[in-house]
Chains A and B, each alone.
Chain A
Amino acid sequence: MDKRMTVDEAVAEVTDGMTIGFGGWGSRRKPMAFVRALVRKGVKDLTVVSYGGPDIGILCATEQLKKAVYGFVSLDSIPLEPHFRKARQNGAIESVELDEGMFLLGLRAAAQRLPFLPTRAGLGSDVLKINPHLRTVTSPYEDGEELVAVPALNVDVAFIHMNRADAAGNGQALGRDPYFDNLFCMAAKKAFMSCERIVSTDELVAGGPLQSLLINRMMVRGVVEAPGGAHFTECPPDYPRDEKLQREYAATGKDEEAWNAFRAKYLDVTESDYQNAVSR
């Protein structure tokens, strides 16, 4: 089985108005090659479901994002995401802001094809006020406890980035935190995985403990070899976050001219031109 393709072939599956899920967390192992391909493609009115970082920020800046579904949006070493902030403060986007744990349960519900999963998280907080679509559910057992029913976060297309994969779509996360990329794939109608290197299945299995084989080939429709595909976010052990480029990106939040220059240099270019421009 061979599911190899290019980022642009994968992104061709995305059309205006779709709901997109991005794996990773904050500014960690984000599928940035796919984000850049989405910018090149120019699809609009996207709903983005993400433990948010520059994926949400960039698509805010390019005005392709209509609605963000998140628990936070952060660049980690720079706590506040400047383009997301700007979009929120200008009232330019719709938002569904959830507790981080509620967000996880929403992904799990979608992966399990359930309408919702119950939790205490959210009770008493303004998360219920700002999300009037959220409902509570009463335990059918003797305790009768009232809980938040977190609705499934169903996604049309999910994008994730792994350290290694084989051509069939088995994927390996070699960093210390797998995040929830498997759930994003299972919450989606279609999922695509980029990776630092496509290797033989033998090499994949030998390349790390079995527990690192987070993605199996059922979960993904396509595999893209994209070295530096998470850059400028971190992708350990292959590379740390490019703090310098992240600072450069963050500084464009308050300066239209700087943003246009950043976009021209790093986004309105092919993936290989991007990788050359940031060559490490």
Chain B
Amino acid sequence: MSRSDLTRADVCVLAIAECFRNDGEIMVSAMGTSPSLGARLAKSTFEPDLLMTDGFNLLLRKALPLGVEPSDRDVEGWMPFGAVFDTLWWGRRHVMMGASQIDQFGNQNIACIGRWEKPKAQLLGVRGAPGNTINHVTSYWVPNHNARALVAKVDMVSGVGYDRAAALGPKASRFHEIRRVVSNLGVFDFNTPDHRMRLVSLHPGVKLEQVIDSTGFELVIPDGLDATPVPTPEQISILRELDPQGYAQKEVVE
């Protein structure tokens, strides 16, 4: 596989995989196609100790291609929902969730659009976002970066951001960490004095103005911005093996 068929989706998936670097022997729960592929790439390459499920309740020894049913020989353990809750309260977990809305401090909304009491659009409900974010590391994936998704104020705080966590005080917030946000345009983190969202890198081909125009709040823009690393030929060939149908390619708006 040559580098010439490298796509934006490949860059995003590598950036997602990088979120899990140095996580070691913890469980990764990656919601959605690109997060799932990114976590599998991390486990297949630089983070082999990660624990991952088949998306349901089987812990798998190695990362299987998307869409492949595990056989008994792929299984190393059992993770039904009861054990997922115990694990997340224990803190040995890094989740990557989607975000219908996310603000500059990383408050995330997957519950509804509009007033919660009578929403304009009912979405999933808060699901596990409140408990995830207050108990262990969380990252987010936004496949279509625009000013309706990256907003000044989310309609309903499902996942807790840094300003809310700080207001709780150091005891209640000691396990809170929003590691990174990966979008189809760039990579973002909260490593700023007041934990406001910072642009870390632009994906190749993305202009800074495009990110600024597509974001509904003021991003922290550091000097000397880097481009998001692109996968090596070896990583690309692993990605093609892990996603033979190209599901992740369809998810990313270029």
User: Which chain A residues have a beta carbon within 8 Å of chain B's beta carbons?
Assistant: 25, 52, 70-74, 79-80, 84-85, 88-91, 97-102, 104, 119-127, 129-130, 143-146, 176-180
The dominant DSSP class at the A interface is: loop
B124 touches A79 (CB 8 A): yes
Q: Does B118 contact A (CB under 8 A)?
A: yes
Apart from A72-B126, A99-B131: 18 A-B pairs, beta carbons within 8 A:
A71-B126, A71-B127, A73-B125, A74-B124, A101-B89, A102-B130, A120-B89, A121-B89, A123-B172, A124-B160, A124-B176, A125-B157, A125-B158, A125-B160, A126-B126, A176-B56, A179-B81, A180-B82
List residues of chain B with CB within 8 A of the CB of A84. 122
A3 to B112, CA, bound (A): 43
A104 to B133, CA, bound (A): 17
Closest partner residue, chain B, to A72 (CB atom): B125
B158 touches A124 (CB 8 A): no
A121 touches B119 (CB 8 A): no
In the complex with contacts A99-B131, A125-B159, A178-B82 CB distance below 8 A: yes
Could you say which of A80, A90, A98, A125 contacts B124, with CB atoms under 8 Å apart? A80
Could you say which of A52, A119, A124, A144 contacts B164, with CB atoms under 8 Å apart? A124
B129 touches A125 (CB 8 A): yes
List residues of chain B with CB within 8 A of the CB of A99. 126-131
User: Which chain B residues have a beta carbon within 8 Å of chain A's beta carbons?
Assistant: 56-58, 78, 80-82, 85, 88-89, 111-112, 116-131, 133-135, 156-160, 164-165, 167-168, 171-173, 175-176
A89 touches B81 (CB 8 A): no
List residues of chain A with CB within 8 A of the CB of B120. 89
B168 touches A124 (CB 8 A): yes
Chain B CB within 10 Å, residue with most, of A79, A90, A97:
A97
Nearest CB of chain B from residue A180's CB, rounded to whole Å: 7
List residues of chain B with CB within 8 A of the CB of A80. 122-124
